[in-house]
Every structure is written in C-alpha cells, then in structure tokens.
Amino acid sequence: MHVPVRDFNLDKEEVINFFKINIEYARNFKTLHSKIKGFLDILSKTYEDGRPSVDDSENDCIKAILDLIEEIGSEDIKEFYDSVGARPSGLFPQITHARPMLSLDNTFSDEDVADFVASVYRFLGVMPDNSIAFTAEPKIDGLSMSIRYENRKLKTAATRGDGTTGENVTANILTIKDIPTELPADAPDVVEVRGEVYMAKSDFLALNAQMEAEGKQTYVNPRNTAAGSLRQLDAKVTASRKLKFFAYAWGEMSTMPSDTQSGMVETFRRWGFPVNPLTRRLTSVEEIIAHYRDIGLQRADLDYDIDGVVYKVDRLDLQARLGFRSRSPRWATAHKFPAEQAFTKVEAIDIQVGRTGALTPVARLEPITVGGVVVTNATLHNADYIEGIGNGGERIRPEGHDIRIGDTVIVQRAGDVIPQVLDVVLEKRPETSAKYEFPKTCPVCGSHAVREKNDKTGKLDSVTRCTGGFVCSAQAKEHIKHFVSRNAFDIEGLGTKQVDFFFDSEDPALMIRTAPDIFTLKQRQEASSLTRLENIDGFGRVSVRKLFDAIDARREIALNRFIFALGIRHVGETTAKLLARSYGSYATFAEAMQEAAPKFGEAWNELNSIDGIGEVVAASMVEFFKEPRNLEVVSRLLKEVTPRDAEAVTASNSPVTGKTVVFTGSLERFTRDEAKARAESLGAKVAGSVSKKTDYLVAGPGAGSKLDKAREVGVTVMTEDEWLALIGG
C-alpha cells in the first residue's frame, strides 16, 4: 500500500539538518524520531516490493536520509534508535546466532591486567607460575561479523546485533575480497568464522577525497563508514568501499581443527582468511604488558584503527573450564588504550531522576570534541563526586577539588565511550563561583530527597533518592521506559519520545501511566470516537499498526524478562535469570517473595541461599512484594501478559540436571568458582546455604555448620571424589 512521504509532514531540509547534528546532541533532541521512523517504514516497503512506491522528489529525500545515516554510521544510529526504543530501518532479515556473540570485559591499567591473569590462575586453582599461555591481539575498531559455512561454502553472514540475533548481510559480505566464499576440503562441515570488518585508513581518506571532489558530504571516521557501507541495500555500493576483514574467533564448529586459540587463528590463515600479524602467544604479565605498549607505539602507523589489545587464554580446554559470566567470558579481556581528554566549561548542572528515585547530576558542557565525538554533557555521578570528597573523607580527585558551574574541567570519554569529568582547572575558576548545593528535595515532584544509611557499615549511601515513589512522575515514567527496554519487554516503537507522549497525555484513550496501560491502549483506541492515534502528528496508520502488533507480540514473555521488567531495585538481568531458574514459574516466585517477608523464615533462607542473591537484593524483592500498589499493578499486568515458565536447563547424560548442590569446606580438587561453573554447566543449581530443598552437599576439609545442617535435614553428603564420580570426572 502506498503511503506518501508528505503524510508524515516532513520537509527534506528538516531531515538533513536533523541528521547533521551529532549523535550526542541528537540523544537530547529526538523530536523527529517518529517522522524518521515513518520514512524508514516507507523505505522498507519500497525495497521489499522491488518497485518504487514514492515519486521522484520523495525518493530523492529518502536517498538523502540514507546517505546521512551512513555518514553518521550505522552502529551510532543504531545506538541512537535503541535509546528511543526503536531499531534501524529493519531492511535486513534477522539471523539467530548458533552461539551467542558475547562482549568482553574491559581493563584499563597494568594492575587490571595483572588481576585478570591472577583471576585465571585462582579460578583454575593453580599457582601463577607462567604455565598458562595467553594470546594478545589488537582490538580492531570495526564491525563484528559472524560468517557461516556449510559443506565448505559460504552460507550466511550476520552482524553481532544484540549478541543473540544479528542482521543478515550475506550479499554485502560476498563483496569483500578478504573473505573466501569456499573453504578447503579439510575444513569441517559446519564452520562459523568470526572477526571484524573494517575500512583501512588509506581507503577512508581516498573515499573522502573522492566525495569532496564531487562536492558531496565527507564521512566522519573509518569505523562508522564501514558500518554504514555494510548495511547498503545495493551490494555494489558495499563493493566500491573496499572493506577488509580480520578473523580471530569462531562460533559453531562441527569439529575443532585445533586445541588452542593460536592454533585456530593459524587455521583461519591457512583457510585463506586475513589474521592480524601483531598477534602473539605470551606467558607472563610482563610480556603481555610489554606487547600492549609495543602495539600502542605502532598504533598511529597502522592502516587500521584499533582501540586496545585483547588477551585470551590460549588452551581451549582451559577456556572451557573457565566458562562464561552472564555477558562475557572469564578467559578473555580487552585492555583498552587510555581515553582521550579535552578541556571545556561547565555551563550548568542538571539533576535527572531515575526509575529507582536516584538523583543523578549531569554537567551541561560547552560542546567539545573528544575522541572524534562532540560531547555536550557528562555524568557527575552523585553529590560526593561534585564535592570531591567521599563520605568516608577520601579524596575523589587528586586534589579533592569540588566542581562548580563556570569551572573549566578536564573531560574524557571513559573506555572511549562514556563522557566524564575528571578534574577541575582551579586556576581558571571564576572569582564569583559558588559551591554547588545538592538539592534536598526532588526537582520533579518536590518530595524529600534522602541518602539512606547502610545498617551494617553505618555509612551513608552515595546516592540521593527521591522518597516520592510512584507519586513522582519522573520515577513512574522511567519505570515505563525500563519496562519497554530491549532486555525487558523490548517493545519496538515505544521509545523515549513515545513514552513521554503517552505518559504526559491527559486523554484516557492515550495515557500510559503504568505498564498494564500499554496492553489496553489498542482497546481504548478502538473504543474512542474522537482521539485517534494515527491522526496525531508524529504517528500514522502504518506506524500505529506496527506499534499495536509489537505490543501484542509481547503478551507472552520469558519469565526472566518479566521479572527484570518489574523494575525491582537491585534486580538486574543476571539476577532475574537466577530467580527465573530457581523458581521456575511466576506463581511460585511471587508466592515465595510474599512468604519471605518474615525474615529468617524458611522462604527467606531459601531466597538467600540462591548463589548470587544476597541480603540487600533479597530485602529489596521482599519490600517490592509488600507494597500494595506494586501488587495491584502486577495483578493488572498479569491479566494482559503471560510469563512463560523458565525452561529447564538440560545437559546430556548429566545425573545432576535440576538438582540443587551446595559446596562447603576447603575444596582440594578444584576451586570454588570452577566447581560452581562445572555444576551449572551440567544443569545443576548452586546454592549458598543448605535447606530442605538441597539435594547434595559436597564437603571438603573443614566443613562446619553447613555440614551439620545437611545432616540435620537429611541432605545427601558427599566428598569431592564422590561428586566427581557422580558427574563423570
């Protein structure tokens, strides 16, 4: 169906000017998001049909939008759209990765690197005698890619995406000469080679020279240009950009051609993939850090951008033993290069109120370019950070200077990403400056703002919080934004601007004040004879239909996402997964939380026995389920949404799948971390304390009260050797 661009009331110059604003600025001014989204909907339809659905002038406008999106860079524009609850154009089909593409933890100092190496030795229970080898490779500043081969022929290629699902860019990857379309005869039947697509600096400069000669807008940097080039609808454009590739990792493999990281990289080289020549196999912290510094010295002369060095345990059997955290492997880390710094002025200090009532100060800065990005604001964290002195009397900055409006400050992008104020240039402080007084009331609702005291330490919490709860519109609104965010309900089309619109509306047919209101919006719209969403500026028939479809698609959702979406303080994604796995169903979980209200009862002890759940988290959950308003909102939500029971963890030939195990005493055959990771990989639940629901207690020398409790309640007690015999060594 043809939907003319003019229906979105969008002027071409308005679009161009919007996208010329840098991304940092755009995050603060998202006024054109809905219109841009509408344009992209039209564009998607145009190319899906394979025939023009817009006239020439409208098509020119769409091309201008695409060019500017590419100029900004698809990864940055993706980050922008994610921040407003929507995605890029959606022009590419999705591919679910056979194995997740996880991110890496970052380290920033020599001490961090030493800690990483030491943590590997601690986990494996061996002394740091340089017997464990590591690979060290440059961290390419490009776009992560997973390329799948079946029967030695290139089948598909997908971007990293959210780590689980990426975009199918196979046609464009086929244009990159560095990537073989067929593997040698000795390669396994199924191979997923992973690496980084990038644009060489020399090719980037040549492209910009060409664009300038043609009187066209030049590009910002090689990384963003490479990312935008990969997402071209016309593969000929991608081919003209001379993209390159480095292979360094893998996903699914039907058989492993090597038993080491370095051996796998050498196999990729033999198969015809480019691998980075600066990769080394090293065995000590001193060697690792020396190589990091050597690469840093070569950084400016390399024909590709890098932002650090990645270290990986070389032996794959040790990688398997070390395993993964929720988002990153234990056997690898990225050692980032120092952040770039710049000087600018603090023009104002604003207070933002978050979902949990936290009052977060933000410095509004005189715009300054740091690391190729124009920065206009930076976090100031909390009242202590502004004061320069922690609540224990420690200095936060070298000289303990406070931060004031009008100060000249040093700003850096931590990890080349998050802007922060490092220190104050005291010599340039205006004589009329005054200390910043942190508010004692919420700037949104006027409720009292307090710093809670830790009962155990007696210290004040670093965060000041509004006591208004749902009375505070900022908290209620932020809760809705959290509820629809990517890792919660992930409702496409309900981004920051849309939530603001629906929350601020006084029209009963439009307002969304609590999560259940999202799921009654369509019904209220259909019952309304006056206020039709598609008639409101910024919306349209297509976008409204897609919004309702996106909402309906979330009427059934995974239990861990549901728990995370509730916005319980201290309950993040990892904790939500632990709770879902431990309780299995929402009914069981909710009942247990209410039964846990009398502290130190059986339900409370069971909650605290979940490995990874402490008293602070447990108390927060219990308080949430004691609050009548919370229960009322959840009750209404459950009439609209069904949380799916958690899938049972399965492990082939494992006698401990679904069993609860507790480790105690001084384990001698393995470290506590390794014992836990191995048990969980076999489908067992690891608890921190013994209860009637514990199946096994593995007791090493020195076992005390947990052993007594296990015998008291009839739990099966076994030695380390008996445990190893049970799980097969």
Among 215, 172, 219, 214, residue whose Cα is nearest residue 73: 219
Structure tokens given for 563:
């728990």
Residue for token pair 């997973």: 146
Average the pLDDT over 4-18 and give the result.
44
Q: Which of 152-161, 208-217, 413-422, 609-618 has the lowest mean pLDDT?
A: 413-422
139 is catalytic: yes
Q: In the structure, what pLDDT confidence band is assigned to residue 392 with cuts at 50, 70 and 90?
A: confident
Residue type, 437: E
Distance CA 724, CA 720 (A): 6
The arrangement of strands across the sheet holding 244-253 comes to: 153-159, 143-150, 190-198, 244-253
Rounded percentage of the chain residues whose pLDDT exceeds 90:
40
Q: Which of 392-396, 500-504, 578-582 has the lowest mean pLDDT?
A: 392-396
Q: In the structure, what pLDDT confidence band is assigned to residue 8 with cuts at 50, 70 and 90?
A: very low
Give the pLDDT of residue 577: 86
Average the pLDDT over 536-560 and give the result.
91
Q: Is the pLDDT of residue 386 over 60?
A: yes
Residue type, 380: L
Average the pLDDT over 497-511 and give the result.
91
Structure tokens given for 75:
């990864």
Q: In the structure, what pLDDT confidence band is assigned to residue 299 with cuts at 50, 70 and 90?
A: confident
Average the pLDDT over 68-76 and give the result.
45
Give the pLDDT of residue 435: 94
Give the pLDDT of residue 665: 87
Average the pLDDT over 142-157 and give the result.
95
Higher pLDDT, 372 or 10: 372
Question: Dihedrals φ, ψ of 706, to 5°?
Answer: -65, -35
Q: In the structure, what pLDDT confidence band is assigned to residue 283 with cuts at 50, 70 and 90?
A: very high
Average the pLDDT over 71-76 and give the result.
43
Q: Is the pLDDT of residue 214 over 70?
A: yes
Give the pLDDT of residue 84: 29
Q: In the structure, what pLDDT confidence band is assigned to residue 254 with cuts at 50, 70 and 90?
A: very high
Give the pLDDT of residue 181: 94
Average the pLDDT over 277-300 and give the result.
93
Give the pLDDT of residue 73: 44
| 130-147: pLDDT as tens digits | 899 999 999 998 999 999
Q: Is the pLDDT of residue 83 over 60?
A: no
Q: Is the pLDDT of residue 219 over 90?
A: no
Q: In the structure, what pLDDT confidence band is assigned to residue 80 with cuts at 50, 70 and 90?
A: very low
| 35-51: pLDDT as tens digits | 455 555 544 444 333 33
53-83: b or e for each residue (b if 16 or more CB lie within 10 Å)?
A: bbeeebeebbebbbebbbbbbbbbbbebbeb
Q: In whole angstroms, how far apart are CA 104 and each of 332, 335, 442, 526?
A: 7, 10, 37, 47
CB within 8 Å of 349: residues ≥ 6 apart:
361, 362, 363, 364, 380, 386, 403, 405, 436
Which range has the top average pLDDT, 374-378, 390-394, 410-414, 559-563? 559-563
Distance CA 274, CA 590 (A): 53
Catalytic-labelled residue, pool 30, 78, 139, 706: 139
Average the pLDDT over 486-512 and give the result.
91
Give the pLDDT of residue 81: 37
Which range has the top average pLDDT, 122-126, 553-557, 577-581? 553-557
Chain centroid to CA 101: 12
Q: Is the pLDDT of residue 653 over 80?
A: no
Distance CA 64, CA 216 (A): 11
pTM of the predicted protein model: 0.56
Q: In the structure, what pLDDT confidence band is assigned to residue 11 with cuts at 50, 70 and 90?
A: very low
Distance CA 361, CA 380 (A): 5
For residue 478, the SS3 value is helix
Q: For the chain, how many helices (H) and strands (E)? A: 27, 24
Average the pLDDT over 78-106 and give the result.
63
Which range has the top average pLDDT, 262-271, 426-435, 686-695? 262-271
Give the pLDDT of residue 21: 42
Q: Is the pLDDT of residue 716 over 90?
A: yes
Q: Which of 68-72, 406-410, 589-593 has the lowest mean pLDDT?
A: 68-72
Distance CA 184, CA 191 (A): 12
| 586-608: pLDDT as tens digits | 999 999 998 988 777 788 888 88
Give the pLDDT of residue 50: 33
CB 73 within 8 A of CB 220: yes
Q: Please list the residues that pair with 147 across neighbouring strands.
A: 157, 193
Q: Which of 147-151, 555-559, 652-656 has the lowest mean pLDDT?
A: 652-656
CB within 8 Å of 143: residues ≥ 6 apart:
75, 159, 160, 196, 197, 198, 223, 226, 227, 230
- Calculate the average pLDDT of the chain: 83
DSSP class of residue 106 equals: E
Average the pLDDT over 168-182 and give the result.
93
Q: How many residues does the chain have?
A: 729
Give the pLDDT of residue 415: 52
Q: Is the pLDDT of residue 561 over 90?
A: yes
Q: Which of 73-77, 314-318, 452-456, 624-628 has the lowest mean pLDDT?
A: 73-77
Structure tokens given for 35:
């219109």
Average the pLDDT over 107-127 and give the result.
90
Rounded percentage of the chain residues whose pLDDT exceeds 70:
84
Question: Does the CA dihedral 283-287-292-294 come out positive or negative?
Answer: negative
Distance CA 729, CA 726 (A): 8
Give the pLDDT of residue 65: 53
Average the pLDDT over 533-546 and give the result.
87
Residue for token pair 């940097």: 221
Side-chain-facing half-sphere of 344: CA atoms under 13 Å: 24
Among 307, 332, 333, 311, residue whose Cα is nearest residue 415: 307
